[in-house]
Amino acid sequence: MAAIVVDYAGVLTDVESDRLYELLDRARDRGLRTALLSNAAGGGSVRRRLSGWFDVLVFSGEVGVVKPQREIFLLTAERLGVPPEACVFVDDAPGNVTGAVAAGMVGVRHTSVRDTVDELTAMLPGL
């Protein structure tokens, strides 16, 4: 894996999300690319607040495509500069995870911060 793509609402807004932000910091320190992929209308304050953790921020309202459409996952991978197969995608909505997998990404369904951190560190040794 060369990149981590994360949803905002339901993942980064979860209780104990500071552990996810720490994981993103470690990932970037180790050369992994990171992206925020949200079905929100636009970035606004979220963009300003989160830009330090992500190389790329993609908002559906700005690009005209929404999750779980294949095109938004391909666009995000392209902006990251990696193939979809090199991305792991994290979202709390099963349909969005299914869409990412159909686009070639590895999918992780977020159910808790602890489980997501455990799964990502198992997939990405050294985090």
CA atoms within 13 A on the CB side of 36: 26
Question: DSSP secondary-structure letter at 97?
Answer: H
Q: Which pLDDT score is estimated for 43?
A: 74
Q: Give the pLDDT of residue 23.
A: 97
Domain ranges of the chain: 3-107
Could you read off the pLDDT of 24-54 as tens digits, one per residue? 999 999 999 999 999 988 878 888 889 999 9
102-111 pLDDT, tens per residue?
A: 999 999 999 9
CATH 3.30.565.10 matches 3-107: no
Tens digit of each residue's pLDDT (9 = 90 or more) over 61-74: 999 999 999 999 99
Among residues 99, 90, 93, 33, which one has the least CA distance to residue 65? 99
With a cut of 90, say whether residue 81 has pLDDT above it. Answer: yes
